[in-house]
């Protein structure tokens, strides 16, 4: 049992509404006895993959069919996601793995500990569930240690891997899981969930690349104009009016993953505008015009290179690289003196 009102209880008994079709698909497979032992829930960051995984785990661990989860309100979702790793009581046959404090990877020791537990009988006499979040955070040796369990799971054992970068998982792991790709909600679905008109959340929505939970968190923190701050810093950098290390430090403090998500979208948009010069940037998007002008000395080729560098750095977060140095190297490419 989980503690009533805890983040874990909220995320395992309530569901973001746009995830219902995916849950119905999993329920149908379970009812037809076609639910595989290994599942990979993949999709962009901040769409609620862990929410779906916990609801599914709750269903698998129940001795009888669990009631349909209630809708998870936006007001509860951000707090529950923020506090989800706070220690709390939960079903003893649920093994939830995530990076230990101050670490960004899941170690081989964590995997070995849980696989040893799976060799024992379940404590409640039912299913055993392993939840790995994020699965792409496993070290190479950890992923290899998981392979045998994926290939030959013990009776009534389910492994749920959650990942927004599944390409970082070894092919041997991916091939042993059934994959369910999850998508972002539409603008209309998100507006209905938040109870807000699209113009109100548009800046935050664009900043997060349409991530519903990240957008909701920004709105809750009143960071409506975070994208404007990032744009202003990059504009100053492009005109050699601010130091690279100052921008790198600011981006790291604000949340590097969010900043890199934003810059990849901005670069993609600016490249399209360069290739379609008939589109008026200043009229269609005045804010985009700031970078359009700041990057006027950069060639299309340089913009493509910057896009590839930013996307690569985004995909390498958590892999052990020196992100500060990598970020500074990328930002150097925007300076007009180097264009």
Low-confidence winner among 60-64, 254-258, 263-267, 334-338 (lowest mean pLDDT): 334-338
Q: Which of 1-5, 167-171, 221-225 has the highest mean pLDDT?
A: 167-171
As beta bridge partners, residue 40 has: 161, 179
| Buried b or exposed e, range 295-324, using 16+ CB within 10 angstroms | beebeeeebeebbebbbebbeeebeeeebe
pLDDT score at 232? 86
317 vs 106, 117, 246, 258, 261, CA distance in Å?
14, 30, 20, 11, 12
* In the predicted structure, residue 28 carries a pLDDT above the cut 90: yes
Answer yes or no: is pLDDT of 284 > 60. no
* pTM attached to this predicted model: 0.79
pLDDT digits (tens, 9 = 90+) for 111-127: 999 999 998 888 877 89
Residue 225, pLDDT > 80, answer: no
Q: Cβ(307)–Cβ(263) under 8 Å?
A: no
The domain locations on the chain are: 7-181, 225-338
Least-confidence region, from 78-92, 189-203, 253-267: 253-267
Higher pLDDT, 42 or 291: 42
Q: How confident is the model at residue 288 (pLDDT cuts 50, 70, 90)?
A: low
User: Could you tell me which residues come within 8 angstroms of residue 156 by beta carbon, excluding any fewer than 6 positions away?
Assistant: 122, 126, 127, 128
For the segment 227-250, the average pLDDT, to the nearest whole number, is 86
Mean of the pLDDT values across residues 9-25?
Answer: 96
- How many whole angstroms separate alpha carbon 83 and alpha carbon 138? 22
- For residue 185, which phi and psi values (nearest 5 degrees)? -70, 160
Write down the pLDDT at residue 223.
Answer: 67
Q: What is the pLDDT of residue 4?
A: 60
Asked whether the beta carbons of 98 and 12 are under 8 A apart, the reply is no
Q: Give 38's pLDDT tier (boundaries 50, 70, 90).
A: very high
Q: Which CATH architecture has domain 225-338?
A: Up-down Bundle (1.20)
Query: Domain spanning 7-181: which superfamily?
Result: P-loop containing nucleotide triphosphate hydrolases (3.40.50.300)
Range among 57-71, 118-132, 163-177, 200-214 rated most confident: 163-177
**Arithmetic mean of pLDDT, 53-82:** 90
What does the pLDDT read at residue 53?
98
């Amino acid at each position: 049992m989980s503690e009533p009102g805890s983040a874990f209880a909220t995320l395992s008994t309530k569901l973001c509404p746009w995830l219902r079709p995916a849950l119905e698909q999993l329920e149908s497979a379970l009812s037809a006895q076609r639910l595989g032992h290994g599942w990979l829930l993949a999709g962009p960051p901040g769409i609620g993959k862990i929410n779906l995984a916990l609801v599914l785990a709750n269903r698998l661990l129940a001795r009888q069919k669990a009631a349909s989860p209630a809708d998870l309100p936006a007001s509860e979702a951000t707090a529950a996601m923020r506090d989800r790793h706070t220690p709390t009581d939960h079903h003893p046959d649920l093994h939830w793995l995530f990076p230990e404090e101050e670490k960004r990877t899941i170690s081989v020791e964590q995997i070995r500990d849980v696989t040893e537990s799976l060799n024992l009988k379940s404590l409640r006499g039912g299913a055993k569930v392993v939840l790995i979040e994020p699965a792409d955070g496993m070290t190479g040796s950890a992923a290899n240690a998981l392979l045998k369990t994926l290939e030959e799971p013990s009776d009534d054992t389910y492994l749920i891997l959650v990942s927004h970068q599944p390409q970082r998982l070894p092919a041997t792991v991916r091939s042993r899981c059934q994959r369910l790709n999850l998508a972002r909600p539409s603008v209309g679905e998100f507006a209905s969930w938040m109870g807000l008109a699209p113009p109100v959340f548009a800046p935050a929505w664009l900043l997060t690349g349409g991530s519903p939970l990240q957008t909701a968190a920004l709105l809750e923190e009143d960071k409506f104009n975070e994208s404007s701050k990032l744009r202003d810093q990059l504009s100053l950098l492009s005109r050699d009016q601010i130091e690279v290390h100052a921008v790198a430090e600011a981006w790291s403090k604000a949340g590097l993953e969010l900043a890199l998500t934003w810059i990849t979208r901005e670069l993609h948009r600016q490249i399209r505008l360069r290739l379609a010069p008939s589109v008026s940037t200043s009229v269609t998007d005045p804010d985009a015009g700031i970078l359009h002008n700041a990057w006027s000395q950069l060639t299309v080729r340089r913009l493509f290179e910057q896009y590839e560098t930013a996307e690569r750095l985004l995909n390498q977060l958590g892999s052990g690289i020196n992100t500060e140095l990598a970020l500074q190297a990328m930002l150097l490419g925007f300076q007009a003196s180097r264009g």
